[in-house]
Structure 1
């Protein structure tokens, strides 16, 4: 195997050791004894391309046994009879004993096995990985997408289900990779000893303790690199997550919790705290880089396998430019310390476009004065549009005040920037890549999605005691960045770009539908399709709603209580069909057909599916003229399932969309293939 200049430069940019030393192919496998206990976080692979893939492990000192050098073996068979690549990697405390190794010179669309062996002859478990197909390969691309996991208060049964089903498929139909859309860890945590009775029916484990953390309210928060490393180490000891990472390459982006619950740029925001945290942003990035194998741009000497982050101070961000980017030098250094936006090509049919939605996000305006009394988890559409537009709203004539419930309240966004989750540079990069892509399907890995969820609260009956004037517009749930989304979707429509599909997470809910700049009564022009996966394990809004008091006037909007079973998910009905249907569900004893007789067809013409209590993952097959996405919804994962299949399935819902031509609107068909999803469509 020849070490080319191109291969050397690619590996150096990744900060990975290089599996391209001459003479490795054809060698005999080393004699080794598998010792999984010495590699407690297992093995992983990431970001494959047609001729290379990053391999990962962690070999810390354990019980008096330590190592400094690892041999990597890559084989075309699981018994390592045919070695095709290999090399050596050094490890040390500066990267928490983790190693990234770029295996090169591989063949496209091939299955490989790999392992790490220390200088004592102790081996990791064997990992399996797959390279990407060549750019001209016309075979369908198959992958799953997932997000939002926390083994500290739940079980990761979805991965066991994923593995169980994949092992049963013929080889040509098996998955090629897993796309993880963020919240790989949760930096806000509880300790089990402080919650012996659990929380919302969930048992809180004591999987870890922060060595340096702080407690704010009920939550423990990380403050040091060792704290963030502690989270990754603990999560990666979960057997189902570890098995998944050993079976498939993962392609990962972060969402919010890899740094801060509600943070933006380098500002750490969580319940009870909001402070400049440039140092924490850098160390959070470092911990992600150490534990997630990915082709990302990081600082320091590109020939060394370590993260040399910038030296920064925690300084108020201060002045923001017209896009809301904080110009304080420490902020800029921190948010550029790791750049994760990138593309990956999979044959003729798929180009993955991956973006970062928090490092360049604008500071949110304070809309707390605009909450409608008696409501939860929603905001007023007309107010949101003003706040989102900032100084650019109404062609630069943003109002001094906003009319709200008979009062004129100061507009807190009048002099602020238009809201962005991408930032100017990353947004332009995305538009350029969309325009240049020749793939059949341009799949945007969007950490939180763009589908509007809205309900007609202006139709609430007076008997609820809640007043929602029609001039407030719809009640919005989890909707934001209206103007930036509009700019992107206008670009797609004007350029005649087809095959745009978004896959997303974060919402702890399954959602699917057509994406458009606006909804009725404004112009509704779909330009793509979107699929949002339920969480792997994190609690859902439906679960939270179960804690709403039964005498709450709007409880029936969230849950339909029954005397002979668990509540029905009325909140799905409210956002699919309107408040009259949701309330009628309770009035008619859960009779869905009676409730749908009162549906408002204007509420959600774009939605095809909504389950705000959904756990599981999405399964994608992207081919020549059709995209197929299946939602696999599993039972609420309170404890680890005992069965090999990961436990029962609630439903299996398949979506199909045919490739549309420029100027045409996409369509999206849905089929419930298994289980009960009546209250989700």
Structure 2
């Protein structure tokens, strides 16, 4: 493309997602004195969505002593000392954008490190940031990056970032990370106050509120305006660990639910019953746009502003066959920011990012008419067979039954004539399929904010004498807010990969506050098990884990507690028996309780529970590191202890364990397979579930 045409193309691209265009080229040496003043930029600096010749730079410069900083100079250099500045331009933080600004710096060289800073009219400079451009599409070097999710600084510390920074600094330059993929829950909109609730799930509640206009829901505050969301982003980005990580690497981000509302779908919120909140969805999108530098589309005309649509909070109506409401206010709100996109990293990686919240139908298992099928007495579990019938509706293979067997009764099937549920919506699903089939990258990596790997156990096989009645003849699913609550579309997508011969696909997942590695199959036993892709789920940065929730909620003397928690007879900390349950079945858990020996537990393992899982830790915190080469995808989980204290020293917090899996590339007709290639550390009922087997 000629240089002039390329410049026009980049200018149009910059305007499309609200960024000023800065072209790299010969730059005269600056004449004014620049002094460090990071306190004037309290949320630091960041970069996002790098391409081979461009990257987005971001900062926030609020007024100081009632005076705004006016236009800022943004400088980009090939060295940390800014002796070789390659781009310099002016950008202006706007009050309408909460004093944030972003610039698209273009004309850069591929596969290079650059340093950048923002300077106000007084010569006061932000901290220095470092970013990287993507390599060209023909660059065969291995791609190296980290992925993370779920950072709740209200209930913990983001110290895994500190360990990530320290470990990366110790590696040779060629083995260092080049970007961080954030898979959602960058913030948590649910705010606890230590004045009202000093502790939660064993964690000390940290003060980040109160929200300027927030509403009370029980013991929490939740946003009601864009000012509330902005307050939360400001608090999170003042955290030193998050801020340092954003300054060191470009971040590529998607959202999950907490950037808007817990367990949201489309523009609905669910704090105390599902209700429409189109105005709040637009406010959440605006704050995300203002604080997360990304190449997204929507109501972002102009250089620096999100233009929120004028919407009213109206009941959702006019649903299509995928459960998407075409009510005008809902459509305006959910389309005001569209984050699905694809980014290439050399010859080996195409990142395909989807929005798993804005276009999803209400999960069938969570509808009011599904209430008779709610499982009671088995915390966090749902009946897999009932969920599959309810979700598929009239599209259930073999036909929808008039009744569903549950709790010893034949209950009417309320979804017999309904359409199947959809996580993505028709338009986004078609886009995803086209990206998967059309990609020329060696690895198609789907940035998927919620998981597809089944977390299930065989409650139907409870040992005799346990005083509990599982209401179904089939397995129990741990949670239905992810793809396991949308099994028809999940099966459709995995069968699509199989039918189209698409290979070397892996999903990278957050949300679950757990580490998982495994293979994805359209079905599991007793149906045919035929893997078509792989999945890696990263533990949370700081949000309490599923294991912590169980520790806080379940007494050890309950009949079902052995399938969740294990206390060794010799004493010591409670251990996550729930890992054993989802990998080997409930009888293994009760055998462990009886003898305390993992060997005895594995001896009664049910091999049909989880042939797809290579690793599970429902108590894990930390991050994951990916190395994608032509021959294989390697994913290492770096787990840290519960982040209940601030960082101590350069490493932040100690290592709990690390475990790495290798996924060799495969061809059509071959079956993907996972190999455990290394592990380090000690983690009861985590690592030894394989080492002892």
What's the TM-score, normalizing by structure 1?
Answer: 0.97
Rounded Cα–Cα distance in structure 2 between residues aligned with 1:415 and 1:319: 17
- 1:203-602 residue pairs with structure 2 within 5 A? 203-270=204-271, 272-301=272-301, 303-365=302-364, 366=367, 367-394=370-397, 397-468=399-470, 472-478=473-479, 479-547=484-552, 548-562=554-568, 563-589=570-596, 591-602=597-608
Aligned residues of 2:17 and 2:300 also touching (Cα < 8 A): no
Rounded Cα–Cα distance in structure 2 between residues aligned with 1:414 and 1:40: 55
**Cα-to-partner distance string for 1:388-439 (whole Å, 9 max, x where unaligned):** 11232245x4233322122222323234331111010000000001010010
Rounded Cα–Cα distance in structure 2 between residues aligned with 1:362 and 1:287: 24
SS at match of 1:409: strand
Displacement, 1:188? 1.1
- 1:176-191 residue pairs with structure 2 within 5 A? 176-191=178-193
Rounded Cα–Cα distance in structure 2 between residues aligned with 1:155 and 1:344: 30
Cα distance change on mapping 1:448 and 1:30 into 2, 3 Å: farther
Corresponding position of 2:613: 607
Moved more, 453-462 or 114-123: 453-462
Aligned residues of 1:278 and 1:315 also touching (Cα < 8 A): yes
Cα distance change on mapping 1:29 and 1:668 into 2, 3 Å: farther
SS at match of 1:194: coil
Rounded Cα–Cα distance in structure 2 between residues aligned with 1:263 and 1:56: 28
Aligned residues of 2:56 and 2:102 also touching (Cα < 8 A): yes
Rounded Cα–Cα distance in structure 1 between residues aligned with 2:460 and 2:684: 26
Displacement, 1:244? 0.1
Aligned residues of 1:16 and 1:101 also touching (Cα < 8 A): yes
Displacement, 1:477? 1.1
Number of positions where the alignment pairs a residue of Structure 1 with one of Structure 2: 674
4+ runs deviating over 4 angstroms:
none
Moved more, 347-356 or 357-366: 357-366
Corresponding position of 1:642: 648
Displacement, 1:564? 2.1
Rounded Cα–Cα distance in structure 1 between residues aligned with 2:68 and 2:96: 15
Rounded Cα–Cα distance in structure 1 between residues aligned with 2:87 and 2:122: 21
- 1:636-675 residue pairs with structure 2 within 5 A? 636-675=642-681
Rounded Cα–Cα distance in structure 2 between residues aligned with 1:413 and 1:184: 35
Rounded Cα–Cα distance in structure 2 between residues aligned with 1:91 and 1:467: 61
SS at match of 1:283: helix
Corresponding position of 1:4: 7
**Cα-to-partner distance string for 1:236-285 (whole Å, 9 max, x where unaligned):** 00000000000000000000111110111011112x24211000001100
Aligned residues of 1:383 and 1:472 also touching (Cα < 8 A): no
Displacement, 1:462? 3.1
**Cα-to-partner distance string for 1:599-639 (whole Å, 9 max, x where unaligned):** 11111111000000000011000001111000001000011
Corresponding position of 2:143: 141
Moved more, 569-578 or 473-482: 473-482
Aligned residues of 2:197 and 2:219 also touching (Cα < 8 A): no
Q: Structure 1 residue 18 and structure 2 residue 9: aligned?
A: no
Cα distance change on mapping 1:273 and 1:381 into 2, 3 Å: closer
Rounded Cα–Cα distance in structure 2 between residues aligned with 1:561 and 1:581: 15
Corresponding position of 2:59: 57
Aligned residues of 2:179 and 2:251 also touching (Cα < 8 A): yes
CA RMSD of the aligned region, Å? Answer: 1.5
Rounded Cα–Cα distance in structure 2 between residues aligned with 1:605 and 1:31: 64
Cα distance change on mapping 1:385 and 1:231 into 2, 3 Å: same
Displacement, 1:67? 1.1
Aligned residues of 1:381 and 1:472 also touching (Cα < 8 A): no
Displacement, 1:29? 6.8
Aligned residues of 2:260 and 2:284 also touching (Cα < 8 A): yes
Corresponding position of 1:618: 624
Rounded Cα–Cα distance in structure 1 between residues aligned with 2:375 and 2:495: 32
For structure 1, the 5+ residue unaligned runs are: none
Displacement, 1:51? 0.3
Moved more, 408-417 or 448-457: 408-417
Displacement, 1:47? 0.1
Aligned residues of 2:94 and 2:304 also touching (Cα < 8 A): no
Rounded Cα–Cα distance in structure 2 between residues aligned with 1:274 and 1:415: 23
Cα distance change on mapping 1:86 and 1:415 into 2, 3 Å: farther
Aligned residues of 1:157 and 1:640 also touching (Cα < 8 A): yes
Displacement, 1:657? 1.2
Displacement, 1:678? 5.5
For structure 2, the 5+ residue unaligned runs are: none
Q: Structure 1 residue 71 and structure 2 residue 70: aligned?
A: no
SS at match of 1:485: helix
Aligned residues of 1:373 and 1:466 also touching (Cα < 8 A): no
Rounded Cα–Cα distance in structure 1 between residues aligned with 2:66 and 2:630: 55
**Cα-to-partner distance string for 1:622-679 (whole Å, 9 max, x where unaligned):** 0011110000010000111212101111110010011011110011001342102452
Aligned residues of 1:24 and 1:86 also touching (Cα < 8 A): no
Corresponding position of 2:201: 200
**Cα-to-partner distance string for 1:305-330 (whole Å, 9 max, x where unaligned):** 20012111100012311110102111
Aligned residues of 1:26 and 1:84 also touching (Cα < 8 A): no
